[in-house]
Amino acid sequence: MKVLGHRGCKYEVENTIRSFERAFELGADGIELDTQSTSDGVIVVSHDENLKRVFGVDFKIQEHTLFELEGITKDGEKVPTLESVLEIARSKNKIVDVELKNPKDLEAVSKIVQSFNYDGFF
């Protein structure tokens, strides 16, 4: 049996670098994360298409660029790119369960995952 941190760790802002790192620190074998795409086509990690619930800002990810998104933080954490999270997981040899929230992102997410040439994906 493997234990995955759902959106990382509940003690941190969900789906953020700190949340995933904390899940690993607490012994998780891997993480589950969700993807969205920005208006400039960058795949980022967020369960919701709007940041209102988690970050407290009415901000629809798909209507803004990555640059605009990077200006939003909560407790010092930003919405990370999929690539940045995969780099960390691979460096720690952890499992990653990637959940697509929008089927139109399948090709972009697949390219990113394949570019990592890493066996730790569900």
Closest to 31 in 3D by CA, of 75, 88, 105:
88
Active-site residue set: 6, 47
Long-range contacts of 113-121 (CB under 8 A, 24+ apart): 113/86, 116/86, 116/90, 118/86, 118/89, 118/90, 120/30, 120/89, 120/90, 120/93, 120/94, 120/95, 120/96, 121/95, 121/96, 121/97
- CA dist 21 to 17, 30, 35, 91, 99, Å? 6, 10, 18, 11, 19
